[in-house]
Amino acid sequence: MIGVVILVFVVLLLLGVPVAFSIGAAGLAGLLWSGSFPLIVIVQQIHQSVDSFVLLAIPLFIFAGMLMETGGIAVRLVRLAQALIGWIRGGLAMAVVIAEYIFSGISGSTIADVSAIGGTMIPPMVRAGYRPAQAVSIVAAASAMGILVPPCILMIVLGAIANVSVAALFVAGFIPAVVLALAIMGYIYYDARRENIAPPQRMAAADIGEAFKRAIIPLGLPAIIFGGILGGVVTPTEAAALAVVYAFIVGVFVYGEIKWKDLPGIMARSAVVTATVCFLLAVAAVIAWMLAVAQVPQAILAAMQAASAGPISFLILSALLFIFLGAILEGLPAVVILVPTFLPVVKQMNIDLIHYSIVVTAATGIGLFLPPIGVGLFIASAIAGVTIDKVSREMMPYVLMLMIGVLVVIMFPWITLVLPRLFGL
Amino acid sequence: MTPLRKILDSGLEWICIALLAVITVDLFLGVCSRYVLRSTFVWYDEVARAFFMWLVFLGAAVAVRKGAHFSLHLLVDMMPPRLKSAVLLVAPLTIVVFSVTLVSLGWDLMLHGASQSTAVMGMPMSWVYASMPVGGSFMAIYAVLLLIERPGEETAV
């Protein structure tokens, strides 16, 4: 049964069939082939995986993010990041990393981050003497890191399928994101020294104050989300509803950058993005169920025990697998299909589910930007008008640094677990 | 054909917009009810989940029309033009096959669901399950339209 599923899936995928429908048709083919299960399990699994209060956070975070993107939020955050770090050698590139860290705290979608930060930052970087391909790589690396900064759609999905608290996953992402950011910034500094890029001028104290003042309203959004969640006042889904209301008030009434007539378009786009993500997730659950009834999790567990692999090597293998699949499949379907399959192994090895989920999230983020096929890398290259081949070469050192960052997160579970434990999540 | 098509396209989009609006307002009221009125509306999560199902399946149909479902073009783009135009039929055909499956199985589930109802509001589950056959029908319609309006004959949107 599983052989048929994989074969049909790979063939349809390569022939350009959308991932969701390749998965659906593969599941259908597998069930017809085996003949031992009623086909109705398809719709039962689909319904079960979508009917979840946790997943309701997805449309809301996407909606809030789209409301905030139309505003000049990215510009304001970049200015703030430059005020913080702009005077170091390579400071402009480092400001990209910091701005992306903050911006990810507003938007739940990594692909949206690339467009916003890339569009704002690549032109000034090129003017300051960075090669276009280099600028693209820095934005891409920063966005890959940004997936760890909550809110994050993938974390919501992981929370739903692995039955982990989404609030805990959100909080757990902060420090691993810092680790990855430091890894990227270390290389930026080394590279800037080697190529002798002049440090930007220090901003005047008054300008720094101004940059902070202008960033207060955008920073209000993560403040509400995390204040609410950490204070135990709201669930992540409810925090997302508050985020929509805040972003709406800011966009329409405070900044006036969103007109009433723009609203239907923004909502329709949010609805379509939500539907593509959740439909994929729903259909992928069918295959996850088939892997479970075919006892694939047990087979993997037995194989890991036969190889006497420990938790660290299992985490490293998982990370490599999700980097690779994240590049091919845009991350989400691989997570929905494979994470439930790996869960028995994770539990057997006494790996904390939060730790595992964060490693998977980070790996998927890197996969999105993995040369030469990561979707995010394509978008970033398109913004700068650079070919993917040129970017691929410049991107490799950053991918390496990100992988080292993930390795550090794998080796020291404390990095991930300290904050959730501190807040009793 | 064309005016009918316009009603279908914009009608579905407006329904999705309305669903998203209801979900947002409903969840916001849910939070408010707990902290302002100090008595939680017990029904708000059931309402939101039911509307979410509809949003996912109708939105997925809109996404079929817009080509918004994620797919890989790497291999297809490398093919010679004649092979490519044949291979481009596979995607809409697969969408039709899976959508029709969704309609027929979803219909069965809906009939099953007539005897079940939700815990708080007692809403028949068939109202929720109906999102699958209805959404699946629109996906199939759009996939067939994709097959009819072959690339090349396609006019500007």
Mean pLDDT of chain A: 89
Residue B13 sits at the chain A interface (C-beta within 8 Å): yes
Confidence label for A121 from pLDDT (cuts 50, 70 and 90): confident
Domain-wise residue ranges, chain B: 3-149
Chain B residues with CB inside 8 Å of A50's CB?
Answer: 52-53, 56
Coil/strand/helix, residue B124: strand
Supply A384's token pair.
Answer: 């700068």
- pLDDT reported for residue B154: 43
Q: Per-residue pLDDT for A60 more than 60?
A: yes
Q: Per-residue pLDDT for A318 more than 80?
A: yes
CB-neighbour burial class of residue A219 (10 A; exposed 0-12, middle 13-18, buried 19+): middle
Contacts of A52 (CB under 8 A, 6+ apart): A160, B49
Q: Per-residue pLDDT for A130 more than 50?
A: yes
Q: What confidence tens digit (pLDDT) does each residue in A273-294 have?
A: 999 999 999 999 999 999 989 8
Is A16–B72 a contact, with Cβ atoms under 8 angstroms apart? yes
Q: Per-residue pLDDT for A71 more than 70?
A: no
Which residues on adjacent β-strands are paired with residue B124? B117
Of all residues in chain A, the one with the smallest CA distance to B66 is A272
Q: What average pLDDT score do residues B131-141 get?
A: 97
Q: What confidence tens digit (pLDDT) does each residue in A295-308 have?
A: 888 888 888 888 87
Supply B136's token pair.
Answer: 């699946």
- pLDDT reported for residue B151: 56
A138 to each of A98, A109, A409, B24, B100, how far by Cα in Å? 12, 18, 21, 36, 45
Confidence label for A395 from pLDDT (cuts 50, 70 and 90): very high
pTM, to two decimals = 0.90
Q: Residue A166: which of A405, A361, A411, A341 has the closest Cα?
A: A361
Q: Which of B12, B19, B22, B24 to mutate to test the interface with A (most CBs of A within 10 A)?
A: B24
Region at B150 (left for phi over 0; alpha for psi -120 to 50; beta for the rest): beta
Identify each DSSP E strand in A44-166 by its residue range.
none
- Asked if B12 contacts B62 with a C-beta cutoff of 8 angstroms, the reply is yes
| Cross-chain CB nearest to B55 (options A17, A241, A274) | A274
What is the length of chain A?
425
Could you give the angle at which helices A57-69 and B2-35 cross, rounded to 10 degrees? 100
Confidence label for B107 from pLDDT (cuts 50, 70 and 90): very high
Nearest CA distance, A289 vs chain B (angstrom): 17
Q: Per-residue pLDDT for B91 more than 90?
A: yes
Q: What confidence tens digit (pLDDT) does each residue in A218-237 have?
A: 888 888 888 888 887 888 88
Q: Which of B16, B29, B58, B70 to mutate to test the interface with A (most CBs of A within 10 A)?
A: B70
How far is A188 from A145, CA to CA, in rounded Å? 14
Residue B103 sits at the chain A interface (C-beta within 8 Å): no
Is B71–A271 a contact, with Cβ atoms under 8 angstroms apart? no
Amino acid making up residue A326: G
Is B62–A272 a contact, with Cβ atoms under 8 angstroms apart? yes
Does the bond joining A372 to the residue before it have cis omega, within 30 degrees of 0?
yes
How far is A268 from B66, CA to CA, in rounded Å? 12
| Contacting A residues, span 19-58, partner chain B, CB-CB under 8 Å | 19-22, 24-25, 28, 39-40, 42-44, 46-47, 50-53, 55-56
First-residue to last-residue Cα distance in chain A: 40
- Asked if A237 contacts B23 with a C-beta cutoff of 8 angstroms, the reply is no
Coil/strand/helix, residue A283: helix
ipTM passes above 0.95: no
How far is A49 from A56, CA to CA, in rounded Å? 12
Q: What confidence tens digit (pLDDT) does each residue in A333-366 have?
A: 889 889 999 998 999 899 999 999 999 999 999 9
Contacts of A33 (CB under 8 A, 6+ apart): A1, A4
